Structure formats: C-alpha cells, structure tokens
Amino acid sequence: AAPQGPPVYVDLAYLPGSWSARTVDEEFFRRIRSLCYVVSGDDHLKEGVLRPLLDALLAGKHQWGIDVQVTLIPTFDSLVMHEWYQETHERQQELGITVLGSNSTVAMQDETFPACKVEF
C-alpha cells in the first residue's frame, strides 16, 4: 500500500489503458483529483475493466468532500460506458461529474477520427 499523503490536484489526467487500467481504483480517484479524466484505450482489455474503473470514479469522488465539477472524457464508444452512464446518471449529477460525449470528427492526412475540444 502506498503511504498516506495529501491528494494531488491536476487539470487533466489520462487513465491508464490495457492491463494497467486494473490499477485504477477508488483510492486512485481519492488521491488523484483532476478536473478532467480521459478514458482512452479502445481495446478488449479495457472493456473488461471499464465498469469497475467508472464505479471507482464515483466512489473516489464521493470522498472528496468539496464541490468540484469533474469531466469524464471517453475517447471511444463503448456499450459498457453507455450502460454505466444510464445506470448512474443521477449519482453523476449529485457528485458533479459530467461525461463529455461528442459526435464531432476531425480529418487529418487522409484519416478521420472522433474528437472533442476541451478548454480550461
């Protein structure tokens, strides 16, 4: 276990993908407090740990004790994400968590991909 210490505050945090995503738990979100969390890694490994990761965000944010708006930015479309969003929407609102979805696309060098713009 990591030694106890004060939380770390950041503007933007990328959540680990693949096997490392399993290390993101309630304690992670209690200690790493970000205005925006980016959930990336559209792969089969991420799908298996996505729901526990999202539930950990709710549990960890609940422990903050301060009213800070948090934005969750998924970089891929996922059935697990949609189900979590629907099932926990009321709790997200209570905790000040917004899930940023976007139907926008960007075309660069003969490639098109989904994107969203985040401003601080």
Using one digit for the tens of pLDDT, what is the confidence trace for 28-63?
A: 999 999 999 998 766 666 677 889 999 999 999 999
Distances (CA, A) of 113 to 71, 103, 107, 108, 116: 21, 10, 7, 8, 10
Q: Is 14 helix (H, G, I), strand (E, B) or coil?
A: strand
Residue 62 covered by a domain: yes
Domain count, the chain: 1
- Rounded CA-CA distance 51/117 in Å is 25
Residue-number span of the structural domain to which 29 is assigned: 8-114
pLDDT of residue 116: 66
Check residue 48 and give its pLDDT. Answer: 75
Residue 12 counted as domain residue: yes
The whole-model pTM stands at 0.82
pLDDT tens per residue across span 62-80: 999 888 999 998 887 788 8
Residue 67: the pLDDT is 87
- Inside any domain, residue 1: no
Q: Which residues contact 52 (CB under 8 A, 6 or more apart)?
A: 25
Can you give the pLDDT at residue 119? 63
| 93: in domain | yes
CB atoms within 10 A of CB 33: 19
| Residue 3 resides in a domain | no
Determine, yes or no, domain membership for 25. yes
pLDDT value at 118 more than 80: no
Residue 25 contacts residue 54 (beta carbons within 8 Å): no
